[in-house]
């Protein structure tokens, strides 16, 4: 467990919104000659530790890529196991999120999930809806390209109906249709396990985010690693196209 001093980055360099592609559960398990399900279980423990650390460090919003729209291609047994872990996390951690004033958000079409999972997610969203503290956003059945297509279709339909002029479809209008519209702008996107791609995650939102790819497998990523990532963010110069 990291000490408080070791885990605390410099406050003035704190990103408001951090997103994480949690990659490497399967490889973590393979290295230990364990089934993939064991890697996913260890990954849930990492989620718990990192979300607590992010709150302690003062991160306003944390978005975790938990289940992509492409994950349906995995074996049915693994998908079922992931659903079970999601239910486990909600049942075991919801009381803490409520107590800590965390606002839970979901991005993605989670209503494709089994009815019992949907019911649990809906209950969790309802029980944290009035909270005013940091946001924990979970990406469930999420794909950034589909998000952008849906936003474009909604705006096009309004323009076709005469509700808005075509000229009103600008960057602000698109952002207002995105599922992250209630979150601060994305400052830092981390991917674990050494892979260096976005995998259809927050493509619009990442336009000016700082990207950090680390070799650590997700189950081994902890508070110290998050603090290191935030320190690295603080050393970046964000010019947004300027000098």
pLDDT digits (tens, 9 = 90+) for 95-116: 999 999 999 999 999 999 999 9
Runs of H (alpha helix) within the chain: 4-7, 25-31, 36-57, 76-99, 115-128, 144-160, 171-177, 223-234
Residue 2 lies in a domain: no
Mean pLDDT of the residues in the chain: 93
Is residue 101 part of the annotated active site? The answer reads no
Q: What is the pLDDT of residues 162-197, one digit of tens each?
A: 999 999 999 999 999 999 999 999 999 999 999 999
User: Which structural domain, as residue segments, surrounds residue 129?
Assistant: 14-233
Is residue 210 part of an annotated ligand binding site? yes
- CA dist 150 to 119, 176, 205, Å? 24, 12, 15
Query: Which pLDDT score, from 0 to 100, does residue 13 have?
Result: 77
Residue 192 lies in a domain: yes
**Length of the chain (residues):** 243
Query: Which pLDDT score, from 0 to 100, does residue 237 have?
Result: 75
Is residue 68 part of an annotated ligand binding site? yes
Residue 4 lies in a domain: no
Residue 9 lies in a domain: no
Identified catalytic residue from 23, 93, 187, 225? 23
Residue 5 lies in a domain: no
The number of CA neighbours under 13 Å toward the Cβ of 228 is: 13
State the total domains in the chain.
1
Find the CATH number of the domain harbouring 51.
3.40.1180.10
Residue 6 lies in a domain: no
Residue 240 lies in a domain: no
Query: Which pLDDT score, from 0 to 100, does residue 144 have?
Result: 98
Is residue 172 part of the annotated active site? The answer reads no
Is residue 92 part of an annotated ligand binding site? no
Residue 120 lies in a domain: yes
Is residue 225 part of an annotated ligand binding site? no
């Amino acid at each position: 467990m990291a000490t408080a001093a070791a885990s605390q980055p410099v406050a003035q360099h704190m990103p408001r919104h951090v997103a994480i592609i949690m990659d490497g559960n399967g490889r973590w398990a393979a290295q230990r000659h364990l089934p993939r399900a064991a890697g996913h279980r260890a990954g849930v423990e990492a989620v718990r530790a990192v979300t607590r650390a992010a709150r302690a460090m003062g991160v306003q919003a944390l978005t975790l890529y938990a289940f992509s729209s492409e994950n349906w291609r995995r074996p049915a047994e693994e998908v079922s196991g992931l659903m079970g872990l999601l239910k486990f996390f909600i049942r075991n951690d919801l009381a803490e999120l409520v107590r800590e004033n965390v606002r839970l958000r979901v991005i993605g079409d989670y209503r494709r999930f089994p009815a019992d999972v949907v019911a649990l997610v809906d209950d969790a969203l309802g029980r944290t809806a009035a909270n005013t503290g940091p946001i924990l956003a979970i990406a469930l059945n999420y794909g950034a390209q589909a998000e952008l297509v849906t936003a474009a279709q909604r705006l096009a339909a309004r323009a076709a109906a005469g509700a808005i002029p075509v000229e009103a479809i600008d960057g602000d209008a698109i952002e207002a249709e995105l599922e992250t519209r209630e979150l601060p702008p994305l400052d830092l996107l981390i991917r674990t396990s050494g892979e260096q791609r976005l995998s259809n995650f927050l493509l619009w939102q990442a336009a000016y985010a700082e990207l950090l790819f680390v070799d650590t497998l997700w189950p081994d990523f902890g508070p110290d690693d998050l603090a290191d990532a935030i320190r690295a963010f603080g050393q970046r110069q964000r010019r947004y196209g300027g000098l």
